Amino acid sequence: MTAIILAGGKSLRMGSNKALLRYGISTLIEQQITILKNIFDEILISADNANAYERLHLPIVPDIIPDMGPLSGICAGLLRAASFHSFVVACDMPFINEKLILYLREQLNSYDVVVPQTSRGLEPMHAFYSKNCIEPIFRCIEKGRLKITDFFPEVKVKLIEEKDYKELETFSKSVINLNTPEEYKKHCQ
């Protein structure tokens, strides 16, 4: 299967490229790549700024329609992916967990989307998507409906709640994303 790292955001609240923030001896995106390489045959980076990620030696996929947010990045990644299902993760999630990703993958069956749901709500930037999502995503983008979940009613979706996953602490931590310098400092420094 394929993993798609969404790294095309403007990082306005953080003030610098979140993917390239230090995390231990590497960066957030390098930490993710290390984990994802254990699970996936193909890793794509969805980003419009190819220069920032050239040194990672992975395919960089620009948005299909620029400035349309993560929905456009997901669509671009799905179009480019070699596999039917892809795991999509935001570049600002440093605590992704191999066990949780494998658990989500086991739930795919005939679903087009398998997405965790926490007390904060759905976590669509840490989920599996199938190529069946491409056309519904295009329709949403054309209509200016850019929330990731806007296309969910058009495909088969399975929600994975925290209570469904046995390692609750790991589940909650896996979907933490870092949007501000304060969040980065709290979790990574």
Express each pLDDT in 31-71 by its tens digit: 999 999 999 999 999 998 888 999 999 999 998 888 889 99
Which domain covers residue 46, as residue numbers?
2-188
Whether the predicted pLDDT of 167 surpasses 60: yes
Tell me the percentage of the chain whose pLDDT exceeds 70: 92
- Predicted pLDDT of residue 43: 98
Q: 89 with 72: CB under 8 angstroms? A: no
pLDDT class for 124, splitting at 50, 70, 90?
very high
Instruction: Tell me the CATH number at 173.
Output: 3.90.550.10
- Predicted pLDDT of residue 10: 65
- Predicted pLDDT of residue 22: 75
State residue 108 phi and psi, 5-degree precision. -55, -55
Tell me the percentage of the chain whose pLDDT exceeds 90: 62
Structurally, the chain folds into a number of domains equal to 1
DSSP percent split of the chain into helix, strand, coil, nearest 5 = 40, 20, 40
Q: Please return the burial class of 93, using the count of CB atoms within 10 Å of its CB with bins 0-12, 13-18 and 19+.
A: buried
Q: Quick one: average pLDDT of 88-106?
A: 93
* Dihedral of alpha carbons 43, 48, 51, 53, sign: negative
Characterise 88 by phi-psi region: left (phi > 0), alpha (psi -120 to 50), beta (else).
beta
